[in-house]
Amino acid sequence: MSSLDKLFGSEMKKPQTAADQVASTLREAIVKGIISSGTALRQDDLAMRFGTSRMPVRDALRLLEAEGLVSIHPTRGAFVAEMDAVEISEIFTIRELLECAALHLAFPFFTDEILDEAESVQDRIAAEPDVSRWGTLNLAFHMTLYNPCRNSRLLSLIEAQHGAADRYVRIFLSNGDFRNLPHKGHRGIIAACRQGDEAQAVQILAEHLQDGRQKLIGSIRNLSAAASR
């Protein structure tokens, strides 16, 4: 049975025909590994499986391409993006630049209520046994801190990079070292914010993202080495 056949089992409910719903289903399947890297995503096949026309499928694939989950070749069509150490390095480098800027801009507007909410989200991450939900909760934690920056374009760019990284993060959450990574970094950022130390908060955020990048790159290289044996 192919990975696409597994996705479109008899128990799956037929989605609506909107492009965002098609993208949502494919996105979840990709980040959970139901559809593996390199799998061809043919528009006609997907349109038939979703019971829709090619247009929503085409738009959905373009959306997923923008998030880094799908690669579209002008002649060969769309494929689930391969695991790529260079890509994850680029994503996290961009995240560090954008998110440190957002934290800096948001810092003057922090209140106890905002920091309490961020801490509450982190508590939910620590208590959540289903690692497939960590991506959503992790984004909620970071955006709780960045939303006060009052720059909607910057926030949109940050969300897009989180989406691009989410596939990698979810796949490698089985690594025990990586599972512990968010807790220390997140709590350190909150503590620095409560102390009013902006420089320390930004530094901890930068180190948190740098550590995540290195662990993910190491995991990707280990998988590549194992596959080549």
Segment 160-183, tens digit of pLDDT: 999 888 878 766 664 555 556 678
What's the pLDDT score for residue 42? Answer: 95
Q: What pLDDT, in 10s, does the model give residues 82-104?
A: 878 898 999 999 999 999 999 99
How many structural domains does the chain have?
2
- Alpha-carbon distance of 99 to 92, in angstroms, equals 10
**206 vs 4, more confident:** 206
Q: Are residues 57 and 149 in the same domain?
A: no
Give the chain as a 3 state SS string: CCHHHHHCCCCCCCCCCCHHHHHHHHHHHHHCCCCCCCCEECHHHHHHHHCCCHHHHHHHHHHHHHCCCEEEECCCEEEECCCCHHHHHHHHHHHHHHHHHHHHHHHHHCCHHHHHHHHHHHHHHHHCCCHHHHHHHHHHHHHHHHHHHCCHHHHHHHHHHHHHHHHHHHHCCCCHHHHHHHHHHHHHHHHHHHCCCHHHHHHHHHHHHHHHHHHHHHHHHHHHHHHCC
Same domain, 54 and 90: no
78 - beta bridge partners?
Answer: 41, 72
96 shares its domain with 51: no
CA distances from 101 to 17, 79, 104, 128, 229 (A): 38, 33, 5, 29, 43
Query: The CATH number of the domain where 10 resides is what?
Result: 1.10.10.10
Residue 57: Cβ within 10 Å count:
26
pLDDT of residue 226: 54
- Considering the domain architecture, whether residues 179 and 138 belong to the same structural domain is answered as yes
* 8 & 95 share domain: no
**pLDDT tens digits, residue range 132-164?**
678 889 999 999 999 999 999 999 999 999 988
Structural domain boundaries enclosing 27: 3-80
Provide the whole-model pTM.
0.69
- What's the average model confidence in pLDDT over 57-80? 89
What was the pLDDT predicted at 204? 98
**Candidate from 9-18, 56-65, 117-126, 166-175 with smallest mean pLDDT:** 9-18
Q: Give me the mean pLDDT over the 122-126 stretch.
A: 92
User: CA 103 to CA 149: how far, in whole Å?
Assistant: 7
Say whether pLDDT at 15 is over 50: no
What is the C-alpha separation between 185 and 193, in angstroms, rounded?
12
**CATH assignment of the domain containing 172:** 1.20.120.530
Mean pLDDT of the chain: 85
Of residues 74 and 18, the one with the higher pLDDT is: 74
- Looking at the structure, do residues 106 and 211 belong to the same domain, yes or no? yes
Residue 11's pLDDT band, with cuts at 50, 70 and 90, is very low
